[in-house]
Structure 1
Amino acid sequence: MQASVSTVKKSQGHLIKLRAKEQDDGYLDKTPVFQYILLSLLFPLWAAAASLNDILITQFKTIFTLSNVASAFVQTAFYLGYFLIAIPASLMIKKASYKVAIMIGLSLYTIGCALFFPASRMATYGFFLVALFALACGLSFLETSANTFSSLLGPKESSTLRLNISQTFYPIGAISGILLGKYLIFSKGASLEKQMVGLSGQARIRFGEQALQHTLLPYKYLIAILLIALVIFAITQFPSGKPKSKTVKVNSNAKISETINYLVHNKKFVQGIFTEFMYIGMQTAVWSFTIRLAMELNGNINERSASTFMIYSYIAFFAGKMIANFMMKKMQPSRVLQIFAVFGILALLYIILVQNISAVYFAIIVSGLFGPCWATIYSQTLDTVTDKRHTETAGAIIVMSIIGGALIPLAQGFVADISTISISFVVNIVCFAVVLGYATGKMREYKANL
């Protein structure tokens, strides 16, 4: 039986009410515009943090004199937080609500940003990794909640498109993060490496400490925005997003072991998890190494100038999402994913084979071809979970596949250390080939069901 959320929850005292009806399967009969926009604005918040990692990797590599593999541990610490916290986040959603999990996520995100202040004073690589881990714990709560919740805020038949639209906000945050890093972290003049040539002892330490102080500035702005977001979410009413049918309601407290057993034996779900793992690893690796690719192919530019290519990358990512959203109105999402994957592999081949500055522009094209990947794979993987008692945990496990962002950059860093940055992009061809195989299989499945 349908329930009016605005009627049922009037007693909670929210200033901004929700007027929509929850269906038996947890979806809504229509999309509540304000709540949907507010939820979608979380996507650029975690995008800004992720894109700042690309700045930090370049900064830390020089200041702490790190190898490509060691500098990639920035992403390892970041995505390890995602991996470890996703299941606890899903349990919180089950026990409380998506909204509560989101507010916990915003709080942890704020604490993680605040830890950058003592980290800059300690001036040790390890302390920065701890701060990034704490920050990522908050983002894990946000992504575990927001990705699934976005797909639920409206009719089921448009869930994939709805999540793709929410994901379209991601590049806006990513561009903001890069701009903050470009102008607040990176300095003018020669590259850090050239500035530090000839410095030794206390002079080198003082220069490094001064450079590390610049890393604080973007996080001051993030803390202010996060506190505002917390207040707005607190006064806004959201649906539960949980199934309402009597059958599901009686058995809603499925044990975690039962859920894991169900998901492990769901072959389509496992395939989606692996594909998402490879995709997010590829996305993280390409973005982690784009600045260094530019600096390797043009030794006359500094970090600030090279970071401009990341701005172009996120603009391309945004354009790719917009194009994918338009194409999905005309054709199957799996077909769109298939087309983008083919062109992505071709663009990566160009980067490997043509080792001049034009390869950086093809790295930008690759970013555009990431457009439909995450949201399409996420939504299709979640749809394989037909027993809705397991939806929250399934969403969390899909978010856990983000651990690919911790491992694939390490693999690319290893290849870069034994060859060149250009050749290291071969790692991403393997990843895009997995995405292509997944999309092709989904298209076969779709045709077989016609």
Structure 2
Amino acid sequence: MPANKKSLFKGEDGTSYLVPFIFICSLFLLWGFAHGFLDVLDKHFQDLLHVSKAQSGFVQFSLYIGYLAMAIPAGLFIKRFGYQRGILFGLSLFAIGAFLFYPAAKLEAFIPFLLALFVLACGLAFLETAANPYSTVLGAKEQGARRINISQSFNGLGWILGPLIGGLVIFGADAVSEEEKFDSLVQPYMGIGLVVVVVAILFLFIKLPEIKEAKGQETEEDPPMRNLLKHPAFIAAVAAQFLYVAAQTGTNSFFINYVIDAIPNLQVPISGIMQELGSFGAFFMPKNNEQAASLILAIGGMGAFWLGRLSGSYFMKFFPPHRMLGIYAVVNVVLVALVLLDSGWLSVIALFSTYFFMSIMFPTIFALGISDLGTLTKKGASFLVMAVAGGAFCPPIMGLIADHSSMATGFIIPLGCFAFIAWYAFWGVGKAAKTTTVSFQHH
């Protein structure tokens, strides 16, 4: 066990990758915040532009379709120019997308905001295509799943801060005039853009080591992408990742809608809790039901998500990752079934509890999916990032179901997604992933 601890951030030659790993973790925090902040926009656009739930689902569609459009080009770019230039290019697109919120607000129309989010998503696709696989190779191979879960814990922290700050800023601006109604969107996104620019400048001056995967497989330096079809466990991982992101994004998009429907006078009990917390609670005192629901999303849902990431990276020292993934998926099938019952606080608690068990899914599926791909790792990572496009299709479908039935009924989609992930974890990972599981325990 001590040998494993020493090798967590060290290569086979003894090189320490701790400092590069810390910088990479800052990227996970950034895009987690961007996604978490986005989760309050669906309900806000319903109120601001009077769009339906199905139409508001296109907020997420415009973001995640950017992953579909850019993931493969990002992988090819990184394959040719390396991780560091890929990160810099991704940060540049990220900042441009954030700054585009200013002209979008001046136009006061839905479509320009969607286009700004699409550009922002193209930047996030570059960052995820680079940072996810990079974090898995900054040390011993058998510790890859642990490292990506550690780095993803910073992503989870960003997901907490996003809806927390987004709820305060966006839903706290109800009293502005008609001419200034979009200011609550412009100011935070200008701030996000400036932070991203600062991070990009830092990455200009640091030197990230270029890691070579698959030592001993130099005879096939650039295999064709079709060779990925020879890895059935990888194909199953892409499907599982697509459905996981669909479930997570659908849940994020309509969390506020669901909680407000389930607890109509939500502001009253949440205000009582905040009052008990003194001056700290007073700062987060909700002014309306939407702010109260965003607090539950940030502290309850995303807080559970973050704790799940932290604990998951620890438990993987003792349990095979694919088995943990399967158990967590089965638990979420049960929890979402309780959400479908629409039973007030019981269902709300079940809803935000799903975040704890979603926490390890993305990084674990990612690590299992690229296991033993060798020189195909970067290309495989592109497809696993492209699978994030699952988040583009679930919110409009869930919104359509909610518009014609009830918000609770829409959660039948995440339930089906978690059921597939349970199948993948227990039966679909294949021999390659199970060999990797053994190496977690014995190397």
| Residue of structure 1 aligned with 2:118, choices 133, 138, 142 | 133
| Residue of structure 2 aligned with 1:303, choices 284, 290, 307 | 290
Q: Does 1:81 find its partner at 2:98? A: no
> Which amino acid counterpart does residue 171 of structure 1 have in structure 2?
G
Aligned equivalents of 1:78 and 1:152: distance in 2? 28
With over 3 angstroms needed to count, the CA separation of the structure-2 counterparts of 1:440 and 1:208, relative to structure 1, is: farther
C-alpha RMSD of matched pairs (Å): 2.2
Q: Where does 1:22-421 land on structure 2 (aligned, <5 Å)?
A: 29-187=14-172, 209-243=179-213, 248=218, 251-254=220-223, 258-259=224-225, 261-300=226-265, 301=267, 302-311=289-298, 312-385=300-373, 388-421=374-407
With over 3 angstroms needed to count, the CA separation of the structure-2 counterparts of 1:84 and 1:128, relative to structure 1, is: same
Offset, 1:411: 2.0
Contact 1:76–1:407, Cα closer than 8 Å, also in 2: yes
Aligned equivalents of 1:30 and 1:164: distance in 2? 21
Aligned equivalents of 1:436 and 1:95: distance in 2? 36
| CA deviation map 1:199-222 (0-9, x unaligned) | xxxxxxx95552221111221221
Aligned equivalents of 2:293 and 2:409: distance in 1? 19
Q: Does 1:425 find its partner at 2:411? A: yes
Contact 1:355–1:422, Cα closer than 8 Å, also in 2: no
Worse overlay, 227-236 or 280-289: 227-236
Offset, 1:449: 9.6
Structure 2: 5+ residue stretches without partners: 1-8, 268-288, 439-443
> Which amino acid counterpart does residue 348 of structure 2 have in structure 1?
V
> Which amino acid counterpart does residue 339 of structure 1 have in structure 2?
I
> Which amino acid counterpart does residue 335 of structure 1 have in structure 2?
R
Partner SS state of residue 330, structure 1: coil
Contact 1:112–1:133, Cα closer than 8 Å, also in 2: yes
| CA deviation map 1:293-328 (0-9, x unaligned) | 111122234211111111121100011112222221
Contact 1:335–1:443, Cα closer than 8 Å, also in 2: no
Worse overlay, 92-101 or 346-355: 346-355
Structure 1: 5+ residue stretches without partners: 1-19, 196-205
Aligned equivalents of 1:41 and 1:135: distance in 2? 17
Aligned equivalents of 1:30 and 1:279: distance in 2? 35
Contact 2:233–2:429, Cα closer than 8 Å, also in 1: no
Aligned equivalents of 1:269 and 1:93: distance in 2? 20
Aligned equivalents of 2:311 and 2:339: distance in 1? 23
Offset, 1:31: 4.5
Partner SS state of residue 358, structure 2: coil
Q: Please give the TM-score of this superposition, normalised by the length of structure 2.
A: 0.86
Offset, 1:22: 6.3
Partner SS state of residue 308, structure 1: helix
Aligned equivalents of 2:112 and 2:358: distance in 1? 32
Aligned equivalents of 2:165 and 2:315: distance in 1? 32
Aligned equivalents of 1:294 and 1:243: distance in 2? 45
| CA deviation map 1:77-120 (0-9, x unaligned) | 00011111111111111111100000000111000000000001
With over 3 angstroms needed to count, the CA separation of the structure-2 counterparts of 1:359 and 1:236, relative to structure 1, is: same
With over 3 angstroms needed to count, the CA separation of the structure-2 counterparts of 1:160 and 1:442, relative to structure 1, is: farther
Contact 2:147–2:313, Cα closer than 8 Å, also in 1: no
Using the aligned pairs only, state the percent identity.
Answer: 30
Aligned equivalents of 2:334 and 2:217: distance in 1? 49
Worse overlay, 155-164 or 58-67: 58-67
Offset, 1:384: 4.4
Partner SS state of residue 121, structure 1: helix
Offset, 1:137: 0.5
Aligned equivalents of 1:396 and 1:270: distance in 2? 12
Contact 2:236–2:428, Cα closer than 8 Å, also in 1: no
With over 3 angstroms needed to count, the CA separation of the structure-2 counterparts of 1:245 and 1:174, relative to structure 1, is: closer
What is residue 199 of structure 1 aligned with on the other side? Answer: none
With over 3 angstroms needed to count, the CA separation of the structure-2 counterparts of 1:404 and 1:443, relative to structure 1, is: closer
